[in-house]
Structure formats: structure tokens, C-alpha cells
Amino acid sequence: MLTRHAKVRAQQRGIPPLIGMLLDDYGHEQYDGHGGVIRYFDKKARRRMERDFGREPVRRLLPGWSKVYKVDSTSDGQTITTGIRITRIRRK
């Protein structure tokens, strides 16, 4: 489920729904400390996708979308926003 804000941001940034579904299934989760969960692709997520889909499809798909992230609410699970990382996500 996406909020209106998340739908607008995904459209503005050209992020297809398939990438959001892959983030839900394979993305690394990190709590942001403000009631949200950041999901993004890391090396482990890439390896899990390669195991399930094969190396070649992931190699062709991820270079363009490896820096995409989304923020989900911890209270109701809705996607708050989506974006493309410019700086790295700092792990705590």
C-alpha cells in the first residue's frame, strides 16, 4: 500500500512498481528511529535475488535501480516515500 505522497514521488522519480515489490521481498531493512523502516538493496539482497532469479537477470536489472530506497511506516506498513540515494545510508 502506498500513500499518495509515495505514489507521486515514485512517478516523479520514474521508479516502477516492480522495484518496490523487490524491495519488499529482498531489500535490507533498517529502522530510522522516527517510526519508519528504510528498505534498500545491499550486497546480501543482491545475492538472495541472484539465488532466486539467476545472475544474468539481476545483473541486467539492478545497475539502474541499485540506489533506490523506500520508507515504510512501522505502525500500518504503508509506504511513506520512495527515492534514489545520493549519499550512503548510515548503519547504526
Which residue pairs from 4-12 have beta carbons closer than 8 angstroms and sit at least 24 positions apart in sequence?
A: 5/80, 5/81, 6/70, 6/78, 6/79, 6/80, 6/81, 6/82, 9/81, 9/82, 9/83, 10/82
pLDDT of 23: 95
> Per-residue pLDDT for the chain (92 aa), expressed as one digit of tens each?
889 999 999 999 999 999 999 999 999 999 988 899 999 999 999 999 999 999 999 999 888 898 999 999 999 989 999 999 888 777 66
**Using an 8 Å Cβ cutoff, are 6 and 19 in contact?**
no
pLDDT of 77: 87
Q: Which of 45, 37, 54, 44 is nearest to 19 (CA)?
A: 45
What pTM value is reported for the model?
0.86
pLDDT of 32: 87
pLDDT of 28: 94
